[in-house]
Structure formats: structure tokens, C-alpha cells
């Protein structure tokens, strides 16, 4: 980011460690300022009068609201549609390219796009670029969700105090989930990171991610059950710092009725095998893969994680719209 204007946010790989460090510093500043009402007022003029469009072809709660809140806290105006597959002209057969072309005619500064097809944000950015409009990928099918990855990494930094020398379990539906994929790309930039992927064999993480890890010399292993990853963690040198759990992405499956059972549910019993200073993360929404009783465990970081998201997005908006 130093000196270079970053116009679009499309994938995790576009950020280097210095970009991330600067972004996290700006995020810390925002969080500190927003503790007081005076701080909030001071930030209001930052992006005053700028316009954000949010167009979401897939459901969203956190991403849509936190982007809108981030924009409004910085003085922007926001117009958007959720359920865009039904409520935009997509239902009449309009292409994504035509929709973005038209939206750009209305002079937004940024378009936040969630789409069901991997690569959609990159396609939109080709059009945004011609009009000087920033495109933010808010999740593209099974592709990526880079702003989620940034807030996930920020959570790790906040909660553990470091992003180097960490052992991270990433588990659940790794074949269809975009958040684990995006986070892996960021984690692979740090030293001494060891990853343990936990999923049923049919939901293993993609070969593209494994090739990336091999290329970047990041140590990783695969397990089928979380308990196997946690038991004897210390003797195997796997004293785990982070468990990043995800839901089964039923909407992306041919057989959404498949049952992955109790072994993919995090319960207080599972938590008892996790060290005291470890954290449990989840991009949310949680369905039933984390038992409600785990919420009161101080290591359950998922709601704090969602909270950090708005500040990370404020810092990002400030960066790309400056």
C-alpha cells in the first residue's frame, strides 16, 4: 500500500506483509477512536460525501452490515440491494458486466459485490477500473472472501499478539468454503506457520491451496477428525493456537442432505483438549457445528472476530478511497 494506490480488493494474495501491517495499524487507530463519541465525530468527515453501492447476489448479514456501518461511520452514503439475484435485473437475464457498467454510470466511489460465481469480482473490476470505481470482493462463490481473511488475521493478531509461529487448525467444509481458502493465502506469508486441515475426505481443501503451500514451504497436514488433531497435540508438536471452524456449505452441494455428524461439532468436551490460551474462531454463521454452551468459554473468539470486522473494513475503505 505504501505510496501505491490500491483500487480494488479482489483476493488475499494482493496484500503483502507491509500492506497488512499498515492496515492493522489503521484498524487499531479506528478501534481506539471509536471508544469515545468524540472519536466517532472526528472520523465522520474522513470519506464524507463518497458513495458506496452494495450488491449482494448471495445472502449476507455480517459482511453487508459491517461494510454499510463502516461506510456510514466515515461519512459515506450507502445504497444497496441484497438478494440481487431476484431484486436486480439479473432475474431478467442481465449479465453481471452490464449491471456493473450501469451502476458505474451513477458515479459510486466503490461497489461492494457478493456473487455466486468464483471470479465475479475480478470481472467486475475490469469494468470498475475503466470508470475509476473501486470493486470490493465480498465473497465470490467458492472463490475468495479477502476482507474476511483480513479480519480473521486481525483477530489472530489481537487475540494471540502475533501472526508468526502459530499452529492453526482449519476445519469443516474446506472444499466449498471460501473463508478458509482466503485465510490460508494470508497465513502463508508468515514465518513458522503450521496448518492442520480437518475435514471429511470429501470436503478436503483444494489442490490449488496445497500447491500454494508447498510452493511457499508452509508445513501442513490433513486429518479427518478434530479430536485426532487435538489429542497428543503437544507430543506431536501441534500445540494448537487457533481452531478456525466452518459450517458445511450446503447451498453449494449436490447432496445437501449429507450428514457429517457429531465428530464435526465443537462441544465443551472438545474444548477441554485445547490449551488455555488458544482461541476458537468461526466466520459465522454458525449452524450446529459449535455447541451453544461453548459461547461462554473465553477462548470462543467468534463474536469478537465479527466485531473487529467493521474496523478492518473502515481501514480498508479509508485506504482505497483516499
Q: Which residues of 27-39 are buried (b: 16+ CB within 10 A; e: fewer)?
A: bebbbebbeeeee
- The window from 18-26, 66-74, 177-185, 236-244 that contacts ligand ASP (CB under 6 A) reads 177-185
Least CB distance to ligand ASP at residue 270 (A): 20
Least CB distance to ligand ASP at residue 59 (A): 8
What is the rounded CA–CA span in Å between residue 123 and residue 97? 7
Catalytic residue among 8, 31, 114, 157: 114
Contacts of 102 (CB under 8 A, 6+ apart): none
Residue from 128, 143, 171, 283 in contact with ligand ASP (CB under 6 A) = 283
Residue from 73, 178, 194, 238 in contact with ligand ASP (CB under 6 A) = 178
Q: According to the binding rule CB under 6 A, does residue 31 interact with ligand ASP?
A: no
Q: According to the binding rule CB under 6 A, does residue 309 interact with ligand ASP?
A: no
Catalytic residue among 145, 167, 238, 247: 145
Contacts of 61 (CB under 8 A, 6+ apart): 284, 285
For 86-128, the three-class secondary structure string (H helix, E strand, C coil) is HHCHHHHCCCHHHHHHHHHHCCCCEEEEEECCCCHHHHHHHHH
What is the rounded CA–CA span in Å between residue 137 and residue 112? 6
- The window from 153-161, 171-179, 260-268, 302-310 that contacts ligand ASP (CB under 6 A) reads 171-179
Does the annotation count 114 as an active-site position? yes
Least CB distance to ligand ASP at residue 61 (A): 8
Q: Is the dihedral of CA 307, 312, 318, 320 positive or negative?
A: negative
Catalytic residue among 27, 54, 63, 99: 63
Nearest to residue 103, comparing CAs of 51, 50, 48, 49? 51
Does the annotation count 145 as an active-site position? yes
Give the ranges where 34-95 is alpha helix by DSSP (H): 37-43, 62-73, 84-87
Catalytic residue among 2, 35, 92, 217: 92
Least CB distance to ligand ASP at residue 48 (A): 30
Count of residues near ligand ASP by CB under 6 A: 8
Of the pair 145, 194, the CB lying nearest ligand ASP is at 145
Of the pair 167, 247, the CB lying nearest ligand ASP is at 247
Least CB distance to ligand ASP at residue 301 (A): 15
Of the pair 171, 283, the CB lying nearest ligand ASP is at 283
* Helices and strands, number each (H, E), in the chain: 12, 9
What is the rounded CA–CA span in Å between residue 175 and residue 220? 16
Least CB distance to ligand ASP at residue 177 (A): 6
Residue whose entry in the numeric block shows the C-alpha cell 466466520: 283
Does the annotation count 7 as an active-site position? no
Least CB distance to ligand ASP at residue 228 (A): 24
314 in helix, strand or coil? helix
Q: According to the binding rule CB under 6 A, does residue 139 interact with ligand ASP?
A: yes
User: What residue number has its CB nearest to ligand ASP?
Assistant: 283
Residue from 179, 188, 305, 318 in contact with ligand ASP (CB under 6 A) = 179
What is the rounded CA–CA span in Å between residue 119 and residue 121? 6
Q: Work out the burial of residue 7: count CB atoms within 10 Å of its CB; fewer than 13 is exposed, 13-18 middle, 19 or more buried.
A: middle
Q: According to the binding rule CB under 6 A, does residue 247 interact with ligand ASP?
A: yes
What is the rounded CA–CA span in Å between residue 158 and residue 143? 26
What residues act catalytically? 62-63, 92, 114, 145
| Site residues for ligand ASP per CB under 6 A | 139, 145, 177-179, 246-247, 283
Amino acid at each position: 500500500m505504501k505510496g501505491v494506490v490500491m483500487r480494488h480488493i479482489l483476493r488475499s494474495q494482493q496484500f503483502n506483509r507491509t500492506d497488512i501491517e499498515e492496515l492493522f495499524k489503521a484498524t487499531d487507530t479506528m478501534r481506539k477512536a471509536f471508544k469515545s463519541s468524540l472519536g466517532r465525530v472526528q472520523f465522520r468527515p474522513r470519506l464524507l460525501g463518497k458513495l458506496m453501492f452494495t450488491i449482494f447476489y448471495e445472502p449476507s448479514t455480517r459482511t453487508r452490515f459491517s461494510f454499510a456501518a463502516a461506510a456510514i461511520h466515515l461519512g459515506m452514503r450507502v445504497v444497496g440491494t441484497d438478494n440481487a439475484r431476484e431484486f436486480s435485473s439479473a432475474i431478467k437475464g442481465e449479465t453481471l458486466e452490464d449491471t456493473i457498467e450501469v451502476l458505474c454510470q451513477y458515479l459510486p466511489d466503490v461497489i461492494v459485490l457478493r456473487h455466486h460465481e468464483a471470479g465475479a469480482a475480478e470481472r467486475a473490476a475490469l469494468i470498475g477500473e475503466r470508470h475509476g470505481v473501486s470493486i470490493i470482493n465480498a465473497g465470490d462463490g467458492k472463490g475468495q472472501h479477502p476482507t474476511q481473511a483480513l479480519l480473521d488475521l486481525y483477530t489472530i493478531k489481537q487475540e494471540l499478539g502475533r501472526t508468526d509461529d502459530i499452529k492453526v487448525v482449519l476445519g469443516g467444509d474446506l472444499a466449498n468454503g471460501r473463508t478458509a481458502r482466503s485465510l490460508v493465502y494470508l497465513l502463508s506469508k508468515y514465518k513458522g506457520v503450521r496448518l492442520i486441515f480437518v475435514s471429511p475426505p470429501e470436503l478436503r481443501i483444494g489442490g490449488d491451496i496445497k500447491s500454494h503451500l508447498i510452493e511457499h514451504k508452509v508445513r501442513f497436514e490433513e486429518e479427518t477428525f478434530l479430536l485426532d488433531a487435538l489429542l497428543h497435540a503437544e507430543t506431536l508438536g501441534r500445540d494448537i493456537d487457533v481452531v478456525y471452524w466452518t459450517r458445511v456449505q450446503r447451498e453449494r452441494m449436490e447432496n445437501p442432505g449429507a450428514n457429517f455428524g457429531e465428530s464435526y461439532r465443537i462441544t465443551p468436551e472438545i474444548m477441554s483438549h485445547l490449551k488455555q490460551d488458544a482461541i476458537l474462531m468461526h466466520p459465522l454463521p454458525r449452524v450446529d457445528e459449535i455447541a451453544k454452551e461453548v459461547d461462554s468459554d473465553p477462548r470462543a473468539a467468534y463474536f469478537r472476530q465479527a466485531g473487529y470486522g467493521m474496523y478492518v473494513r473502515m481501514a480498508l475503505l479509508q485506504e482505497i478511497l483516499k
